[in-house]
Amino acid sequence: MNNTIYVIGTCHGDTIGFKTDDLYKLLCEIKPDVILDESPIDNRCAMMDWLNACANYYKTRGGGEAAAVLKYLDDHEAEVLPYDIKGRNDYFIKTKFFEKEQAFNEACNTYFKQPTANPTATYLYRLINSMSRKFGFHETKDKRSIYEINSPLCDVQVETYISLIRQVNKALFNLVPEFAQYEKDFWKMLNFHARRDKAMISNILSYNKQFEDKTIVVLCGYFHRYALIKGLVGKQKQHDFSLITELNSIAARQ
């Protein structure tokens, strides 16, 4: 096999610091033979339709990684393949994933505006929100560049944040009886995120077996990056590939 695999964290649309053109330029530097896109693996037969739909969806924010991939394909040859968990989109629809997430967020916002809110719960809720604002998670005003969100520091920040979300919300469900109705769905959502990470790693390793001496770029929302790296780094010798995770090491390989 002897492939080289790059794991590149992205934002799904432009932010202050992350731009679609930055990702396009990076792809031009790496010159991948294969691009793995964060779409369900059962989407393989409709990849171009998927990329165009995603680029149009995020058009007001620069088109995201899909627009960068489409631009790259205009003047380069590469195979684009999906690698996210099978049935992801159907799962989101069937479970009303995002609606339930929004309902819990709204319940928190309402509860913690009350002067009678549990003080310990309030402290924990503000702590996690403060961390989210500090690091600009999920915000268009995030100033971090493509290099910064693909750094070991950002990986640690994301992993710490996700760990804190688990611990803080476990405490919130114990402290605030009003949140009991959201607890089961919350853990299902968080555990699905972890299941996706495991499936992505498995699918990347499966694709690795299918290619020989190729450069493979794995594009992932940067909240998945740390988990993919941890899952792949120890597999290099067994599966005969080299893993590149720091963008500042790319120039040295040119």
User: Rounded CA gap, 155 and 148, in Å?
Assistant: 10
Task: Using alpha carbons, select from 76, 14, 6 the residue that is nearest to residue 36.
Answer: 6
The confidence score (pLDDT) of residue 138 equals 65
Q: How sure is the predictor about 206, in pLDDT bands with cuts at 50, 70 and 90?
A: very high
pLDDT digits 0-9 by tens, 109-125: 999 999 999 999 999 99
Q: How sure is the predictor about 252, in pLDDT bands with cuts at 50, 70 and 90?
A: very low
148 — phi, psi (to 5°)? -70, -40
Domain-by-domain residue ranges, the chain?
A: 1-254
**Mean per-residue pLDDT of the chain:** 91
**Quick one: how far is CA 101 from the chain centroid?**
17
- Average pLDDT on 70-75 reads 94
The confidence score (pLDDT) of residue 132 equals 83
- Average pLDDT on 233-245 reads 95
Judge whether residue 137 has pLDDT over 80. Answer: no
Judge whether residue 249 has pLDDT over 60. Answer: no
Q: Is 38 exposed, middle or buried (0-12, 13-18, 19+ CB in 10 A)?
A: buried
User: Rounded CA gap, 95 and 98, in Å?
Assistant: 9
Q: How sure is the predictor about 247, in pLDDT bands with cuts at 50, 70 and 90?
A: confident
